[in-house]
Chain A
Amino acid sequence: RKEVEQDPGPFNVPEGATVAFNCTYSNSASQSFFWYRQDCRKEPKLLMSVYSSGNEDGRFTAQLNRASQYISLLIRDSKLSDSATYLCVVIRPPLLSGGSYIPTFGRGTSLIVHP
């Protein structure tokens, strides 16, 4: 099983739709969680951190479910400009003892918003 798993999609939605992505992680001791956005042939950029209590930033809502070991990203009122790949990042413990926590990216979920 992969450390961090995401449905690659693509999710094809019309403008104005609400869309949600999940990201599951395997190590229950994982420490911190983030969502990054990556446009085609560009570098990833931080979209938002994911807090235990959940957090919202405009049309975007991120939630963490530690019991089921997944994080989610909800996008409301989708815009054409939201079309991108959404990468989840999990800060997980090292595989070997004595190492440091490792930022581990999922493969990303592709979102296409059409008119």
Chain B
Amino acid sequence: EAGVVQSPRYKIIEKKQPVAFWCNPISGHNTLYWYRQNLGQGPELLIRYENEEAVDDSQLPKDRFSAERLKGVDSTLKIQPAELGDSAVYLCASSGGRSTWNEQFFGPGTRLTVL
């Protein structure tokens, strides 16, 4: 079974440029998460989807970040415009099952460098 797929794996952009990350969760997983992980820190939740509904986006910086999961499957996270402080690894995770909190399966992440 394929795991969580993310692309691109690496992205280098100049500040003020836009950037987008794509995630395809494990087939059948209804819950999708986007996290940001800074060096030496744990992942920080940005947004969580249940199917196509964003059930928690309270930690998403909405002035420059946006996300969508239109058909309840794959998802895109966008930053526009990017700032130097956005340099981090952006992780996507998915989970399934009946319990409220199940194991999260993470993708390999997108390492973003903003110059």
Task: Report the tally of A-B residue pairs with Cβ distances under 8 A.
Answer: 55
Range of interface residues on chain B? 20 to 34
A106 CB, min distance to chain B CBs, angstroms:
5
Indicate if B42 sits at the interface (CB-CB under 8 A). yes
| Residues in A whose Cβ lies below 8 Å from that of B13 | none
A14 to B107, CA, bound (A): 32
A107 to B55, CA, bound (A): 24
Assess whether B56 is in contact with A107, with CB atoms less than 8 Å apart.
no
A105 to B35, CA, bound (A): 10
Check A43/B56 contact, CB under 8 A, given A31-B101, A102-B45: no
| Residues in A whose Cβ lies below 8 Å from that of B97 | none
Number of interface residues of A (CB under 8 A): 27
Cβ-defined partner of B91 (8 Å) among A8, A43, A96: A43
Assess whether A96 is in contact with B109, with CB atoms less than 8 Å apart.
no
A36 to B103, CA, bound (A): 10
Assess whether B58 is in contact with A87, with CB atoms less than 8 Å apart.
no
Specify the chain B residue showing the minimal Cβ separation from A106: B42
B110 CB, min distance to chain A CBs, angstroms:
11
| Interface residue ranges of A20-54 to B (CB < 8 Å) | 31-32, 34, 42-46, 49
Cβ-defined partner of B42 (8 Å) among A46, A100, A108: A108
A32 to B102, CA, bound (A): 10
Cβ-defined partner of B101 (8 Å) among A32, A44, A45: A32
| Interface residue ranges of B16-72 to A (CB < 8 Å) | 33, 35, 40-45, 48, 55-56, 58-59
- Name 27 interchain pairs, CB-CB below 8 A, sorted by A: A31-B100, A32-B101, A34-B103, A42-B108, A43-B91, A43-B108, A43-B109, A44-B91, A44-B104, A44-B106, A45-B106, A46-B103, A46-B104, A87-B42, A91-B101, A95-B58, A99-B56, A99-B58, A100-B56, A103-B45, A103-B101, A104-B45, A105-B35, A105-B42, A107-B42, A108-B41, A108-B42
Q: Which residues of B contact A (CB under 8 A)?
A: 33, 35, 40-45, 48, 55-56, 58-59, 91, 100-101, 103-104, 106-109
Q: Which residues of A contact B (CB under 8 A)?
A: 4, 6, 8, 31-32, 34, 42-46, 49, 87, 91, 94-96, 99-108
